[in-house]
Amino acid sequence: MVVFVEIDHVDRIFPLPNGGSYVALRNIELKIAQGEFISLIGHSGCGKSTLLNIVAGLDRPTHGGVIVEGRQVSEPGPDRMVVFQNYSLLPWLTVRENIALAVDEVFGNQPKGERRGIVEQHIDLVGLRQAAHKRPGELSGGMKQRVSIARALAIRPKLLLLDEPFGALDALTRGGLQEQLMQICQENHLTCIMVTHDVDEALLLSDRIVMLTNGPSAHIGQVLDIPFERPRSRLEVLNHPNYYALRNEIIYFLNQQKKAKQAKPLEVPAIIARGGLEKINLDIGFVPLTDCAPLVVAQEKGFFAKYGLSAVTLSREPSWKAIFQGIATGRLDAAGVLAGMPLALSLGLGEQAPVPTLSALTLSRNGNAITFSKRLYDEGVCSLAEFKDRITRTPDKVPTLAMVHPSSLHNLTLRYWLASGGIDPDRDVSLTMIPPPQMVANLKAGNIDGYCVGEPWNSRAIQEGLGVALATDLDLFPGHTEKVLAVREAWANQYPQTHLALVKALLEACSYCDDPRNREEIVALLAQEQYIGVDPAYLRPGFIDAYDRGMGESPQFHSRFNQFQVDGANCPDRVEALWILTELARWGIVPFPKNWVALIERIWRTDLFYEAAAALGLPEIEKARAPIYLFDGTVFDPDRPLDYLQSLSIKRPVGVKEIDLDFARS
């Protein structure tokens, strides 16, 4: 697609009289091709008209920008014309004179005859020849809107912006104008962006429908591609087999946003604040892995204390199952958890009742590897294809592979990797769950043939001659979310300032961890018995030194093997959260929620991240809302998660159900 209009990470924040601010739009990113018709739809107050005004140059974004045909929009211009709902005609001028006013302003350097010809051409274009001499007071609403459209088209804009242009018209007039607009856009290859509340209008006119979430901090929740061929007729659109399915999808999205808007906030008891914080004694869980570094650094370097959290206890947990239960039962105030765990907690995993859990901070990215036993490697299993061949040749010997928790990226990565090679992870191999610190011992004992885990448990096996790393995150899913900060939703509501302080302390710790000058010191901290308790040599690969896979190759240095803040690592990634959700559903771990947009909004709290980042003066960077291109060539489109699931050849039966978002609001 050749990009004609690019809306690049646009935020719009309005100052309030009390000194505060209102975030109308947050991280709006959209690319539009020439000749494309885009509709913006969402409930009142979601910022549709604000976004349109920014594209028109009538308003300026607080952050980000808009580029039209390679030029940044900084002011209104004749290449962009707006048609408003209220017509905006001068009442003392005739139809002809209202159109001529715009033509004379834009084409004043052209001969009078040519300008007159343009005016007359556009009078005929909208069918107003018989009313050309009349003033607005003598016209019907539909005729006024046609004058407004003719005036916009007469200056030959490259981009037509329509702000509910037919909202005040009766159904018959509206239908006629919609048909006329569709014909004009088709014949003139016009690029259009339209704000509308009318679902049927959007389906008739659009190539794509962009659905915005509720404000404040409204953002793109879903983009729907409209498959109807052009030229279109209303009857053909209504009779298209996909029409009502698409219509229902839009209405479902809007209804979910309406429910979210009407949801009553949780009432929490009044708490006596100490130093501005409601609670200062926190128990925070972690599992001994290299990427627990932000928690350790925040404790050891005084970042918790700096933000008023003067009584933090870091609780070394024996397994991810213990972390899961610690959050669910309230034994732990917070924890650095697996990326999929907030979703699994909120939806309920196995027999566990749903525990609404949120994350406002990504703590780390990358850091994992798939390690196979040295015995298998010596027998010729040096790649996924060779592993598949061995399984085929020896069906009586089912390999056993380990992961750390069903909701982990280790489990999902291992499963995806196996499936990409034609290996069914539930039928061709045996998957078992083992805590990270126990992986090496089980590999050595021959209980397992390989595993997927974070460091230092791959490097330890490699250095002890027990295993080889067939693949790392950087081969498979570079930049993926690995660990996130998780708290129960009720806890965050009860202790909002404490939660904010916790996020700020860990943000600063993440920055400290990604400064290479600090890495030697951090290795020494992590090696202590109360944290990971291993020889520092096991912690160095990938973290400081080049990474040795144990396969006889030259070790490779990767500055992003463990990533804590660089490249905008910390903002919760909603697109990736959705991919994790689809993969959990793919393997039958949780059902796929029909109302996934609202669910992810509730769990992945970018608004709280932005608040903490702004308080620290850090850039509020959110990853682009874009498809994920996977290592095997598969593309995950965040607007079509069910299509993605259906396209996968190896999967379990996928259940789709609506999740009650009032579940356990306690």
Q: How confident is the model over 117-140, as pLDDT tens digits?
A: 888 887 887 778 888 888 888 888
User: Which fold would CATH assign to domain 368-476?
Assistant: D-Maltodextrin-Binding Protein; domain 2 (3.40.190)
Instruction: Decide if pLDDT at 638 tops 60.
Output: yes
How many Å is the Cα radius of gyration of the chain?
Answer: 29
Query: Is pLDDT of 309 > 80?
Result: yes
Question: What's the mean pLDDT in 314-320?
Answer: 93
Model pLDDT, residue 663: 56
**What per-residue confidence (pLDDT) applies to 190?**
86
- For residue 470, the model assigns a pLDDT of 96
Phi and psi dihedrals of 12, rounded to 5?
-135, 115
Amino acid at 325: Q
pLDDT at residue number 555: 86
What CATH number does domain 1-73+175-262 carry, 3.40.50.11750, 3.40.50.300, 3.30.565.10, 3.40.190.80? Answer: 3.40.50.300
The two three-digit tokens of residue 9, written as one number = 């990470």
588: left (phi over 0), alpha (psi -120 to 50) or beta: left
**Tell me, what's the pLDDT at 164?**
85
Q: What is the pLDDT of residue 539?
A: 96
Task: Please provide the CATH number assigned to the domain covering 281-366+481-657.
Answer: 3.40.190.10
List the single range of 83-92, 465-474, 526-535 with lowest mean pLDDT: 83-92
Rounded CA-CA distance 585/218 in Å is: 27
- The helix (H) or strand (E) run that includes residue 66 is strand 63-68
Scanning the structure block, which residue is given the tokens 């309920």?
Answer: 348
pLDDT in tens, 14-47: 999 888 889 999 989 999 999 999 999 999 889 9
pLDDT mean over 649-654: 93
**pTM for the structure as a whole:** 0.85
Distance of alpha carbon 625 from alpha carbon 628, whole angstroms: 9
Q: Which pLDDT score is estimated for 665?
A: 45
Work out the average pLDDT over 64-93: 86
| Most confident listed range (109-113, 120-124, 504-508, 611-615) | 504-508
Average pLDDT of the chain, as a whole number: 90
656-662 average pLDDT score: 82
What pLDDT score does 19 carry? 85
Q: What is the mean pLDDT of residues 591-602?
A: 92
Count helices and strands in the chain by DSSP H and E runs: 26, 24
Instruction: Tell me, yes or no, if the two domains 1-73+175-262 and 281-366+481-657 fold the same way.
Output: no
pLDDT (mean) for 568-585: 95
367: left (phi over 0), alpha (psi -120 to 50) or beta: left
Q: At residue 664, does pLDDT exceed 50?
A: no
pLDDT computed for residue 666 by the predictor: 40
Whether residue 216 is preceded by a cis peptide bond, meaning omega within 30 degrees of 0, is yes
H/E segment holding residue 38: strand 37-41
Percent of the chain residues topping a pLDDT of 90: 66
Using one digit for the tens of pLDDT, what is the confidence trace for 485-522? Answer: 999 999 999 999 999 999 999 999 999 999 999 999 99
Bridge partners for 369 per DSSP: 453, 472
Domain boundaries, the chain: 1-73+175-262, 80-156, 281-366+481-657, 368-476
